[in-house]
A and B are shown apart, each in its own frame.
Chain A
Amino acid sequence: MTPEDWQRVKSILDKAALVDAGDRDAFLRQACGEEGALRAEIESLLECEHGNLFDEAAFSIADLEIPSEYAQSFIGKEIGKYRIVSELGRGGMGLVFLAERADGEFEQKVALKLIKRGMDTDAVLRRFYNERRILATLVHPNIAHLVDGGTTDDGVPYFVMEYVDGVPLLDHARSNGLDLNARLELFQQIASAVTFAHNNLIIHRDLKPANILVTAGGVPKLLDFGIAKLLTPGNGGLITATQQFVLTPEYSSPEQVRGQQLTTATDIFSLGVILYELLTGVRPFDMKEPSFAEAIRVICETDPTLPSRVSGEPRLKGDLDNILLKALRKEPERRYSSVEQFSEDINRYLSSRPVLAADDSRSYRLQKYVKRHRFGVITGGLIFTTLLAGLGTTLYQARIAQRERERAQQRFNDVRGLANSLIFEINEKMGESPLQARELLVTRALEYLDKLTEDAAGDPGLQIELANAYEKIGELQAEIFNPGLGKVSDALNSHQKALELREKLLAASPNDVARGLDVLTSRSYVGDILTASGSIGPAREQYLNAVTLGEELLSRYPDHEGIKTRLSSTYARLGQNVLRSGSLGAALDYYQRALSHAKDVLAAKPQDVQRRRRVGIISNYIGYVKMQMLDLQDAESAFREQKQIENSILKEDPENLHNRSALSASDLWLGIALGEQGRLDNALVYLKEALDIQKRISAADPANVGEQNSLADCYVEMGKVQVWAGNTEIGLQSLREARKIYSAVSTADPNNVSAKGQIALTDRHIADSLAAKGDLAKADKVYRESIQEYEALIATDNSNLEWKDYLAVAHLHYGQSLQKQKLNADAGVQFSRAVELFTPLAQNSPDNRRLKRDLDLANGYLTSG
């Protein structure tokens, strides 16, 4: 074999390694073609794939360790102008010694920092020189400054710093019994040091009480710029945390633990943590275990308790609470814009002037709500990372037989590989294309899970974890990929994998109620995805299977809340499902079962917001069905029940936007039901309330399509009722506003079918209003537009019964308008078209009295005309 031959063999082997055993034959046939010798060569090499020869190194000279005698060996030695006196401490990479001038010029104590033998990799050397360079530029009374630097005789670099003879910040405050103002003043000095560093384009990145020593004279000094970073103007003042492996999680910012871009705001956050601890004695973020997953969870997802509540110190209440919470916000741009501003706010407090932080805490809560929703996908991603990291750790820590340990180690390494990929590969992509990054995330995770599934047989614990992970991915896929984009099958696939695993688990222990509940949940998810992709029949089958299983479980565990909750939501889905094929009676029946389970669960915990809201939502569904049945008073009382619940929830937490949004929805429906009954003044009261709330929500988040659609919905209903009440011009204005919003949504997002349907509906209402005004020619034109819009929609999806229904209504109303103009022949065409459309719909949905009413109306015109 020549080297060239070997290169070729290698490249085929590389590819073969990625091909499943089952597909190898086909691959080799294609790769080697007619070259029999080549194929024989490759095959004989591939036969050696198995076995573990060379997988372990012969011995591991790589984990060299430095004994403590090494540090000891320096004592008494001279380095440069200094004699080493004692060891002060050792960090990850360096040793720090107390040293004194050896030349006797004058008495001076210094701290001398030296890189440990064995830690002198290029990366460590870079960091070391970086710190030396940074210290050289920082001359400030509250920063331990650089004195000297050099290289030892055998080439080890070192530097010499001011020696701070002091105690750590918190110890100093405690042992001197500093009062609130003294603590704040101490903090102000620290803030001035950080401000000075920031003005020199340096961020510290590792601020913590242990890095701040206070001298006997009460002067705090900032130490250890070991991972500090110079912000150079060239990179826009932004750096990322990805290169950073050394972290003190308790004092890290959310962007730091996520590996995102770091700015001076990260130091502001850490200062916030330090001040919080200095004033209350406890840390705002409490980690139960020192893991990456836990750090992400706690720092990125939990809100710190109000400092005044933690410490019981009444003086913290109000301004200081607000100041601290502003410094500790999750979003860097929502914190103080500089340490100076932070510090200035503390000055304002100290001199009893109003603080900045108070003004915007209210608007902050609103924006926070909005942000949370917009970044749902990213949060999903993080939960998911956490989950996988957790999975790895669980496995690693699990008590497993010695023989299993190796395999567990391998898995742990796989997780680490995935984590690396997340941090580097995916983080990079996130900047250029978030969608691609998320796709990559999901792909990597699936590769990993599929690999694990292969050897999960006989390990129920692992199978449970895997099913949970598949479920999470399925959710992520469904969330990331718009159902219109054809990725639904991927989400379905993941949920089905979860279902398959869970069914096996249940079959193995049929009496395990948790496993039963898991199967129930999976079926429900599979049903949801099928629904999203338009497979209504198969979805119904999943839901029916799920409720059968649920009822069976419930008969054995009649008090199990989890089963009842799940059953309730599955019945609600069944209701939605049958409603889509027009079965009002069946839908009502399912909704009532859903309601009864929901009320049962609520009775056990009557104050629980989620449980109350569930009852409200199901009532809303029932109200909708009752509307279609023209049982308008029943509908009204169902909507009133929902509104009452939402009112009481909002009263408990009036600033919560989600609560406001839910109340707006219940107002809207109550308004609709009252309007249909002709109680127009009453209707207008609720519709106005709904519109006002929705205006605020939509203004806070103009980019949120869903909220924009909801706003337009309010305008439509408002417009309709105004026209009925005789306020035609006001009504028309409202309808036109709605149309403008729907059009904007539809232009921005051409896949948004719901907005298109609403445009057609709004046009029909506009035409109705014009007709009511007597402007029949204009009305006709708009009816025709509405009809064309519906026809275009139906051409894309022939199964949507609602569109057909509304198209028929448009024909009916158009016919009425034509008839008023004595255009009887043309009107007849419209009426017969309406009858044609209504007839099958009414047959399909015998309980729908509204449909029947409209059909009779059209028939009446047709026979009389």
Chain B
Amino acid sequence: MSEPPITRDLDRDPSVQLDEVYTQVYDELRRLARFYMRQERSNHTLQPTALVHEAYLRLGQQEKGTFLNRTQFISVAAKMMRRILVNHAVHRNRQKREGTYVQITLDRAVDAFREDSLNLLDLERALAELAKLDARQERIFELRFYGGLTIEEIGEVLDVSPATVKREWNTAKLFLRRHLALQRN
């Protein structure tokens, strides 16, 4: 396999454009993430759910700001959390080489994320391949896996029927599972 496409730092990539809302949410999340990382001396732990909840409350109580409804917020947050996690993973790879260690705790899918079963960076590569074939499927995956939205809620966000979301989600899973299996072997 050639050079993995995802070892770039998304934060510094000028090709990645964020609109105002995204920037606002992302900034808040990133700020909080850094804050948490500093709190722990060694063995840094990142708890995404707590992070997102706090960001949500902070944004909600701001004096000024764009008013987002719950579904909108979650769909933005899902994209952002994916970015943060991937950037952490990239970072971690560098730090590993330098001897320090950052651990990411994923509340729900701890087992799936064990070193040997799912590598976040491998998943990013697989997602990049999927996005080339069908960008909507990548988005569905992001909302479902990183956002925890239900099939119906995704249908609402993307304005398609739940049945369509379900079908696309199923085939996306097949595509990604196979991709990951091939990468492992």
Contacts and interface: CB of A to CB of B under 8 A. Distances in A.
Interface in B47-82: 48-49, 52-53, 56-57, 60-67, 69-71, 74, 77-78, 81
B118 interface: yes
A6 B167 CA distance: 14
A73 B61 contact: yes
Contact of A57 (B52, B148, B180): B148
Main secondary structure of the interface of B (DSSP, over half): helix
Counting contact residues on chain A (CB < 8 A from B), the size range is 35 or more
Given A58-B48, A59-B49, A13 B177 contact: no
A14 B61 CA distance: 45
A553 B94 CA distance: 77
B146 A57 contact: yes
A176 interface: no
A117 B60 contact: yes
Interface string A522-534: 0000000000000
Contacts of A73: 61
Interface in A464-495: none
Given A6-B134, A118-B56, A121-B71, A59 B171 contact: no
A45 B130 CA distance: 14
Contacts of B10: none
Contacts, number: 132
Nearest to A123: B156
B178 interface: yes
B36 interface: no
B34 interface: no
A119 B49 contact: no
Contact of B133 (A1, A54, A57): A1
B105 to A, nearest CB: 9
A14 B132 contact: no
B69 A121 contact: yes
A53 to B, nearest CB: 6
A53 B144 CA distance: 13
A840 interface: no
B37 interface: no
A57 B108 contact: yes
B133 to A, nearest CB: 4
A272 B56 CA distance: 45
Contact of A60 (B56, B57, B107): B107
Chain B interface: which size bin? 35 or more
Interface in B165-185: 167-168, 170-171, 173-178, 180-181
A57 B60 CA distance: 24
A64 B70 contact: yes
B145 A57 contact: yes
B174 to A, nearest CB: 4
Given A48-B178, A153-B63, A155-B67, A56 B108 contact: yes
Given A44-B178, A48-B174, A48-B177, A61 B67 contact: no
B121 interface: no
Interface string A50-78: 01011011111111110100100100000
A163 B29 CA distance: 41
A59 B104 CA distance: 12
Interface in B133-158: 133-134, 141, 144-150, 153, 156
B177 A154 contact: no
A158 B97 CA distance: 55
Interface string B99-110: 000000011110
B170 A60 contact: no
Contacts of A155: 66-67
- Contact residues of A: prevailing secondary structure: loop
Given A120-B70, A121-B70, A59 B108 contact: yes
A92 to B, nearest CB: 14
A35 interface: no
Contacts of B174: 13, 45-46, 48-49
Contacts of B144: 54, 57
B1 to A, nearest CB: 16
B112 interface: yes
B67 A154 contact: yes
Contact of A62 (B109, B147, B177, B180): B147
A9 B167 CA distance: 12
Contact of B62 (A53, A59, A65, A154): A154
A3 interface: yes
Contacts of A65: 53
A59 B109 contact: yes
Contact of B153 (A45, A62, A67): A62
A39 to B, nearest CB: 15
A47 to B, nearest CB: 8
Contacts of B149: 62
B48 A59 contact: yes
Contacts of B118: 53
B23 interface: no
Contact of A119 (B70, B148, B170): B70
A605 interface: no
A506 to B, nearest CB: 40
A64 B56 contact: yes
Contact of A118 (B67, B70, B156): B70
A331 B63 CA distance: 53
A47 B145 CA distance: 21
A60 B52 CA distance: 10
Contacts of B66: 155
A64 B53 contact: yes
Contact of A122 (B69, B134, B167): B69
A61 B178 contact: no
B117 interface: yes
Contacts of A67: 57
Contacts of A47: 178
A125 interface: yes
A651 interface: no
B148 A59 contact: yes
A748 interface: no
A699 interface: no
- With a 10 A CB-CB cut-off, give which of B66, B74, B150 has the most chain A CB atoms: B74
A58 B146 contact: yes
A789 B148 CA distance: 70
Given A10-B171, A155-B67, A57 B109 contact: yes
A123 to B, nearest CB: 9
Interface string A19-47: 00000000000000000000000001111
Given A48-B181, A154-B64, A61 B70 contact: no
A456 interface: no
A70 B54 CA distance: 12
A13 B108 contact: no
A54 B145 contact: yes
Contacts of A62: 74, 147-150, 153
A136 to B, nearest CB: 23
A358 interface: no
A752 B64 CA distance: 75
A730 interface: no
A58 B70 contact: no
9 closest cross-chain pairs (CB), A and B: A155-B67, A57-B148, A60-B148, A48-B177, A62-B148, A6-B133, A61-B52, A59-B107, A120-B69
26 contacts: A1-B133, A13-B170, A44-B178, A48-B173, A48-B174, A54-B145, A57-B108, A57-B109, A57-B145, A58-B85, A58-B145, A58-B146, A59-B48, A59-B81, A61-B49, A61-B52, A61-B147, A62-B74, A62-B147, A62-B153, A119-B70, A120-B70, A122-B71, A154-B64, A155-B67, A156-B67
Interface of B: 48-49, 52-53, 56-57, 60-67, 69-71, 74, 77-78, 81, 85, 106-109, 112-113, 117-118, 132-134, 141, 144-150, 153, 156, 167-168, 170-171, 173-178, 180-181
Given A60-B148, A122-B156, 17 more contacts: A3-B133, A6-B133, A10-B168, A14-B170, A45-B175, A53-B177, A54-B144, A54-B176, A56-B112, A57-B148, A58-B81, A58-B146, A59-B108, A64-B74, A117-B57, A117-B60, A125-B69
